[in-house]
Amino acid sequence: MILPLLVLAAAAGAAPPMVVVDESQVVKEEPPPHGAIGQSTAYRISDVVPNRTMEFRKRILHVGAAIGEHVIDHDEVYYVLSGAGEVRSDGQQKPLKSGVAAYLYAGSKVGIWQVGGDPLTLIIAYPVPRAAR
């Protein structure tokens, strides 16, 4: 008798089915956000996920490109897949390279610049604002 109750409880609170996204279906060439500095290739992966609570994106900053400085109202992570960059947060600057992440805090003024001869490929993740959910 207990087992059927557990199964019903699990079904009632079941999560939605997973969403699998092929980046080739969400790719777009565009200037980077926050200043349109240079050109980028954007993979807005989470945009096609219904009822999401987080953003998950891949962006390639072409040579000379940057996501310009802007104040964030949520914590955010930039993770470098390849290339080199420079992250800025509230006047501090730090170099980034493949395998390095920058964790940035809500209320900070942040930006990231591509440096060197190769494009900078990033994963960017942050929560969706509650008002947008």
What is the model's pLDDT at position 129? Answer: 78
DSSP assignment of 79-126: EEEESEEEEEETTEEEEEETT-EEEE-TT-EEEEEEESSS-EEEEEEE
Instruction: For the domain made up of 27-132, give the CATH fold.
Output: Jelly Rolls (2.60.120)
pTM across the whole model = 0.85
**Tokens of residue 33, six digits:** 């956000």
Q: What is the mean pLDDT of residues 9-18?
A: 73
Q: pLDDT, tens digit, for every residue of 51-101?
A: 999 999 999 999 999 999 999 999 999 999 999 999 999 999 999 999 999
Q: Say if residues 49 and 25 touch (Cβ distance below 8 Å).
A: no
